[in-house]
Amino acid sequence: MRSRTTHIWAIGLLLLTGQAQSAGPYKSLGDLFDGELANIAEAAPGNTALGGQDFGRCCALAINQSLQIVDGDVQFKPGQTFLPGPASVFVSHQFPCTASYNGSAAGGPEVRIPYTWCRANCNGWAKTKSTRHSDWIEPFVGYILPTVVFCFTIPRRKAFLTPSAVFPDAGLLDFPRNLTLFYRLPLAALFILFDTVQWVVVCIIMAGPMLLAGIFEGVIDARIMSYLASHGRRLSPRRRAHLLLVVLIGNLDGDPAWEHSRRLLGGLPDVPHAIGEKSHAAAVPGPADSEGSMGASEEKNGPIDNKTGSGDDSEGPTSSIPSPAAAAQVIKRQLASLLESPTPFGTAVGLGVLFFSTSFFYNINDIQKSYGNGGTSHSLAFGCFWMTIGHIAVVACVLAANPNPSVWEAIAADLDTDHIESLLPLGRRVEPSPSNSLVAFFRAWWASPRNQRRELQRPALLTTKATFRSEYSSRYKVAWMWDRGLYKARWLARFADEYGDPDVENQILCTRWTQLLFLVALPAILLFFIPAFLGGMTSYTTPTVGLSCRSMIPLVYMSSQFLLIVVWLCYWKFWCIGEDGKLLTLQADNKRLRSSHLLADVAWYAVFGLGISGAVFSAIGGTGEKLIPLILFPTSTDVASTLVFHLMGLFRNCLCWISIWDWSNRNSPNTTMNLAGGVAAQIYYAQRFWVSIGVSATLFLILTTYFGWQYHHRMRTEFRKVIDGIDRT
C-alpha cells in the first residue's frame, strides 16, 4: 500500500514539474511536447521567395530528424548533431522552438543546425507575424507616438498640406452635400498620414546634417550674445538691435527679410551713445538710414508728441519722425515679442521627452519578464535607435529663431507697400470649385480638342504646388533644418558688409576647421552616434552574438550619417561663398579645388548619394523590419508579396542567422545557428545588457534635454538684458 502511494506521489510530482515527458512509453514522436512534432510539413507553407518560410517549422523539423522512438523510449538518432543530450533530459524541457524565459537562468536546450542544412531545408525568408496585439501596440505607444510628436517640433520649409478641395464647401447642416465626407475625410487622413510618415523618414535620414546645422546655429547665437556682452558699449543702438534681429529671424530667406529688418531699425541712431532726450538732434544717419527707411518708421509709429520730439505739423517734415527714444521703446517691445513667440521649451520638447522616457523605463522594466526573446531585444534596439529624433527635436527647440514667420510678418507688415500682393500667391489655398473637381477635369479634358488638352488647369488634388508648400501664409520662407546654421552665417556676413564691422567676421564668423570639428561636428556626431550605438549593441549581444544583419544596420546608419556630416562640412567650407567672398571662404591652399570645381562637385554628389543610400537602407530596412508589417498588417497571412514586406522581412533568413564573419566560410559544418528560444546564452546576455543599455539611452536623452534647457534659459536671460540695454551705453 505504501509503495502504491509513493508511486502516485512521484507521478504527480513529475506532472507538476513538467518532467513526465521522459516517462514514456511513446508510440511516436507526435506524443512529445503536446503533439508539436506531429504532422510536420516537409515543405514551407508558402512561397519562400515572398516570405513564405516558417522557421518554427524548420526548428521542429530539425528536432524531428534528430529523435526516434525505440521500444517506447525517446532516443537520439545515431550521428545526430543538432540536439544536446541525453534525450530523456532534452524532452523534459519546454518545446525548444517556442520556449520562453521561465525565471531560470539555466534556460532550455539549443537546436543548433549548420548553415548548409538550413539552406537546403529552410531556404528563403519569413515574413513577420503578429501573434499578440502587444507585439505592435507596445512599440507603437512606446516609440512611434513620441517620435511623431518630436518630428512636429522640428522646423521644415514645406509640408504636404491637405488641400481645401478635400473638404466640402457646404454648410455644417447641409446634409446632402455633407455626405461627401464619407470619402473626403479618409482622403484627408491619407494626406496627413503621408505627410507624417515622409517627415519621420526624412528626419531619420537627415539626422546628421540636421544636428550639425542646428548646433552650428546655436554656436553662432552664443557668439553673438558674447560679442554683444563684450563689445556692446562701442556698438550703436541700431547695430545692437540688428544683431538681436539676426538671432531671432536669421532662419528666414534673406530676401526680403533683410531689407525689412533694415527699414524696421531706421529710426535708431547708428552712433555709439545712449538714447536720451538730447540724442535726437545728435543722431547721425547710418548706412541703413534713407528716405524709405525713415518713411517706413514714420508710417509705423506715426507722429509722437513729447517734450523733445516733434511739434505740430507746421514744423516741417521732421515733425512726424519719432524720436530715437520712442523708436527704441517700440523696437524693444518688438524684439521681446519675437523672443517670446516660440513655444516654450518645456511644452515643445520637455513633455515629449518626459512621456518618451517614462514609457521607455516602463518597457525596460516589463521586458525583464521575457529575457532572451529575440523580438523583445530588437524592439529595445529599435527604441534606442529612434531616440535620435528626440535629440534633433531638442537641438531645434533650443534655438532662438522662431520657425513660424507669422510674428515677424505682423511686425514688418507695413515695411513693404506690395506685401499684400506678394502674400496672396504664397499663402493662398486652392479653394474647391467645379473646375477643380476630378470629374469636371476629366470631362472637360475628354470634350476638348486634343491640341488644347494640355492647357487645361489640373485639379487641385493633382497639383503638387497645392499640397507641397509652406505651412504658413507668409511672404517669408524659413530654412530647412539642415540649412539653419548656414542661413544664420549668411545673415551675419551681410551684417558685416552693411556696417563695415570686421570684428563680426573675426569673432563670430570664424570657421576654422578645428572649431567646426570640436564645437559643431563632434557634438552632432555624439547625438546620433550614442543612440545608434546602444541600439546596435542590443542587437549585437542578441545570439547569434556578433555582427550580423540586424546589428549591421546601426553600423551602416552611423557610417552614412558620418559621411553626410563630412559632405556638409565640405559644402560649408568650400562651396558656400558669398558674393564678396567673405563667408566661409576658400583657403589659399585650396585653389586647386576651386579651379577644378566640376570634379569636386561630382565627388561631393557621389559621397552625398552614398550617404543618403546608406541612411535610407538603414532607416527603412532596419527600423521597419519588425514594426511596419505589424502596424500595417497585424493579422495578415498572405500579403508578403508586397514590396514593403519584402524589405521589412529581409533579415529573417538563414544567412542572417549567422555572423557576418562566417559568411565566407558558411558552407563549413562548424558554421551553425540556434533556432531554439529561451536558451542560456540568450538569457545571460539579456540580463547583462538589456536594462543597462535601455537605461543608458534614456538617461542620455534626459541629459541632452537638460543641457539644452539650460542653454535655452541662459540665452533668453542674456537676450532680455541686451534688449533692456539697447538705449543705454
Average of per-residue pLDDT across 576-600: 49
State how far the Cα of 468 lies from the Cα of 215, in Å rounded to an integer.
Answer: 27
Cell numbers standing for residue 678 = 529561451
pLDDT for 643: 34
Neighbours of 1 (CB within 10 A): 5
Q: How open is the CA angle 39-42-48, to the nearest 5 degrees?
A: 125
Q: Is 137 exposed, middle or buried (0-12, 13-18, 19+ CB in 10 A)?
A: middle
Residue showing cell 528560444: 677
The secondary element (H helix, E strand) that includes residue 568 is helix 549-570
Confidence check: pLDDT of 474 > 70? yes
714 falls in which pLDDT band (50, 70, 90)? very high
Q: Phi and psi dihedrals of 673, rounded to 5?
A: -145, 155
Q: Which candidate, 698, 700, 724, places its Cα nearest to that of 146?
A: 698
Per-residue buried b or exposed e for 622-658, using 16+ beta carbons within 10 Å of the residue's own CB: bbbbbbbbbeebeebeeebebeebeebbebbbbbbbb
pLDDT digits (tens, 9 = 90+) for 116-130: 999 999 988 887 665
Alpha helices in 399-521 (DSSP H): 406-411, 419-427, 438-447, 464-467, 484-499, 502-503, 513-515
Strand, helix or coil for residue 76: strand
Look at 66-70, 158-162, 374-378, 564-568 and tell me which has the smallest mean pLDDT: 374-378
Q: How open is the CA angle 267-269-272, to the nearest 5 degrees?
A: 155
* Adjacent-strand bridge partners of 69: 74
Choose between 162 and 489: higher pLDDT: 489
State how far the Cα of 565 lies from the Cα of 660, in Å rounded to an integer.
Answer: 27
Average predicted confidence (pLDDT) for the chain: 75
527 falls in which pLDDT band (50, 70, 90)? very high
pLDDT for 452: 45
Alpha helices in 236-289 (DSSP H): 237-249, 254-264, 279-282
pLDDT for 310: 39
**CB-based contact 206:156 (threshold 8 Å):** no
Q: Which of 260-274, 337-351, 702-716 has the highest mean pLDDT?
A: 702-716
What is the longest distance spanned by two Cα atoms in the chain? 129
Confidence check: pLDDT of 564 > 90? yes
Q: Which long-range contacts (CB under 8 A, 24 or more apart) does 41-44 make?
A: 44/122, 44/124
Q: What is this structure's pTM? A: 0.78
Average of per-residue pLDDT across 541-557: 83
pLDDT for 149: 82
Q: Which residues have C-beta within 8 Å of that of residue 98, sequence separation ≥ 6? A: 36, 56, 677
Q: Which candidate, 249, 254, 727, places its Cα nearest to that of 497?
A: 254
**CB-based contact 164:216 (threshold 8 Å):** no
